[in-house]
Amino acid sequence: MECTLPMNQMGAPPLPPLMASNSAVPDGRMPPALSAAAPSRPRFWIRTGYVVVVLILCLPLLCVIGIAGCFRLSSATQALRNSVIESVPGQWNKRVAVHVPGPALGLVRFGSRFFNLPPEPKAALAALHGAEVGVYNLKDAPSALDYSAMFTAADKCMRRRGWKRIVGVAQGRQFVAVYMPRNLRTAKRMACCVAVLNERDLVVASARANLEPLLELATQRLREEHDLSCQNLKPKSWR
Amino acid sequence: MKHMKHWMIGTVTLCAAATLALGADETLPGQVDFGTFSAPKGDGEFVEVNVPTGLITLAARLVEKEQPEVAKLLSSIKLVRVNVIGMDAENRDVLQKRAQKVREDLAGKGWERIVTAQEKDQDVSVYLKMTDKVAVQGLAAVVIEGKEHAMFANVVGDIKPEQLAMLGDKLHIDPLKQIGNTAQKPENKAKDKAEE
């Protein structure tokens, strides 16, 4: 006995009742709801693809910007350098300017975990969160330096940036200014900016650090020395 | 009405922030305004040190375990300021007049002169500002060392005189011990002796 499916006018088997009742086209074509859903998946992947391509194209540019940033001082250090240079007339030549940013030090810190470092360098790496130094040379030695004007100019530009001078020393041909942030509250976020002028050489440097690891190490060392000195003071029979 | 509320909250917040910012530079009790000093034009030295609370607290943490009394004393200090200026022909008169003015101002504002020493070319004056509870709010020292240097120092905090005397004793700094002993009231000295 031959069993055949009933066919509609197009020669296709009829749709199940649910699909048939939902379809706007009774002749068996795909309903519009399903047809609308199908192209959205490819659109999402196209957009993601564009983003990935743009990122890949921008990566060399980001690398160039990052590397260029390693030879550029931060704004506060630049301001301190400029205030000193402008106060001392003459032709200044840049010898070196290096900036090691936080992420780079973070990578070094991460890499150092795979090595068995002594506690002091380990604490120093853990503490340092960014450092930079610039060295400049004056072509001809100036005849006389107005240190008051130099301090005033440096204080003014650093105060605008939220820094306060904690040490200022000037004698002969030597000038030292040390600045720290005004809102210094905790050892976890220490920062320091220094300018040293000696004859014709100017060094500006700054660093950001979390001093907690260094404090712990220093406290431990002091305790060990204290215990050792107490032990040395005891008579031999007591040891 | 809702917008009014947001505006009011924003205005009040701004005012509070401005007040805090202005208050940050207020003079502490025990703080002395020596004025600004200019570096000498010749080879004379110029040293200015302004140690804020944050750094002092760090130093206190460093010695906390080994010398808790020193750490306690350091924790009670809020500010340290020291100025050393080399004197030359241009600034000598100005600095001597400034020192005299500072001494007069301190005496006029109720600071107690506890050390006066004039020997050879040295002129030393040390002043203390005490609270009612016999704690030292401020210590100011004005020293004219011959024709070479002028020194102005100010320590601000909430320091107990016995802590100063103890510190002077531990570090073998007799002038500091003397200052601490001089600042202690007689009844407190008697109490300490009885406890010993």
| Residue pairs between chains A and B whose CB atoms are closer than 8 Å | 64
Cβ within 8 Å of residue B41, ≥6 positions away = A144, A146, B88, B90
CA-based nearest residue in chain A for residue B83: A168
pLDDT tier, A1 (very low <50, low <70, confident <90, very high otherwise): very low
| pLDDT higher than 80, residue A35 | no
Residue B82 at interface with chain A, using a CB cutoff of 8 Å: no
Report the candidate in B148, B20, B15, B143 with the shortest Cα–Cα distance to residue B92. Answer: B148
| Average pLDDT value for residue range A112-131 | 79
Q: Which residue has the higher pLDDT, A188 or A89?
A: A89
Tell me which residue in A147, A215, A219 faces B39 most closely, judged by beta carbons.
A147
Report the candidate in A215, A148, A50, A124 with the shortest Cα–Cα distance to residue B59. Answer: A215
| pLDDT higher than 50, residue A23 | no
CA distance to partner chain A, nearest, from residue B110 (Å) = 29
Residue A217 at interface with chain B, using a CB cutoff of 8 Å: no
First and final C-alpha spacing in chain A: 111
| pLDDT the model gives residue A158 | 93
One-character DSSP codes across A16-80: PHHHHHH-S-TTSPPPHHHHHHTTHHHHHHHHHHHHHHHHHHHHHHHHHHHHHHTTS--HHHHHH
Domain boundaries, chain B: 39-158
Residue A19 at interface with chain B, using a CB cutoff of 8 Å: no
Query: Measured between alpha carbons, how far is B128 from B112 in angstroms, rounded to an integer?
Result: 5
CA distance to partner chain A, nearest, from residue B84 (Å) = 9
Tell me which residue in A146, A169, A223 faces B65 most closely, judged by beta carbons.
A223
CB contact under 8 Å between B48 and A144, yes or no, is: no
Residues 177-196 of B with CB under 8 A from A: none
Helix or strand (DSSP H, E) at A121: helix A119-127
CA distance to partner chain B, nearest, from residue A83 (Å) = 17
pLDDT tier, A108 (very low <50, low <70, confident <90, very high otherwise): confident
| pLDDT the model gives residue A167 | 93
First and final C-alpha spacing in chain B: 70
Q: Which of chain A's residues have a Cβ under 8 Å away from the Cβ of B66? A: 222-223, 226
Average pLDDT, chain B: 77
CB contact under 8 Å between A187 and B55, yes or no, is: no
The ipTM value here is: 0.74
pLDDT tier, A206 (very low <50, low <70, confident <90, very high otherwise): very high
Residue A223 at interface with chain B, using a CB cutoff of 8 Å: yes
Burial string for B150-173 (b: 16+ CB within 10 Å, else e) reads bbbbbbbbbbbbbbbbbbbeeeee
| pLDDT the model gives residue A58 | 82
Q: Which residue has the higher pLDDT, A237 or A196?
A: A196
CB contact under 8 Å between A168 and B46, yes or no, is: yes
Residue A165 at interface with chain B, using a CB cutoff of 8 Å: yes
User: With contact defined as beta carbons under 8 Å apart, do B129 and B137 qualify?
Assistant: yes
Q: pLDDT (tens digit, 9 = 90+) per residue, A78-100? A: 999 999 999 888 889 988 888 88
Query: Measured between alpha carbons, how far is A96 from A67 in angstroms, rounded to an integer?
Result: 15
Q: pLDDT (tens digit, 9 = 90+) per residue, A52-86? A: 888 888 888 877 777 777 778 888 899 999 999 99
Q: Which of chain B's residues have a Cβ under 8 Å away from the Cβ of A165? A: 48, 50
Helix or strand (DSSP H, E) at B182: helix B174-183
Helix or strand (DSSP H, E) at B4: helix B2-23
Query: Measured between alpha carbons, how far is B40 from B37 in angstroms, rounded to an integer?
Result: 9
| pLDDT the model gives residue B58 | 80
Distances (CA, A) of B183 to A82, B25, B31, B81: 48, 29, 18, 21
pTM: 0.71
CB contact under 8 Å between B45 and A218, yes or no, is: no
CA distance to partner chain A, nearest, from residue B82 (Å) = 10
User: With contact defined as beta carbons under 8 Å apart, do A138 and A92 qualify?
Assistant: yes
Q: Is the dihedral of CA A24, A28, A29, A34 positive or negative?
A: positive
Instruction: Give the percent of chain A with pLDDT over 90.
Output: 23
Domain boundaries, chain A: 39-69, 75-226
| pLDDT the model gives residue A159 | 92
Q: Which of chain B's residues have a Cβ under 8 Å away from the Cβ of A218? A: 62
CA distance to partner chain B, nearest, from residue A189 (Å) = 11
Range picked from A21-25, A181-185, B139-143 for highest mean pLDDT: B139-143
| pLDDT the model gives residue B110 | 87
Residue A169 at interface with chain B, using a CB cutoff of 8 Å: yes
Query: Per residue of chain B (196 residues), what is the pLDDT tens digit?
Result: 666 666 666 555 555 444 444 444 567 888 998 988 888 877 788 999 988 888 888 888 877 777 787 788 888 888 899 999 998 888 889 999 999 999 999 999 889 888 777 777 788 899 988 887 678 888 899 999 888 889 999 989 888 877 777 766 766 666 666 666 766 655 454 445 555 4
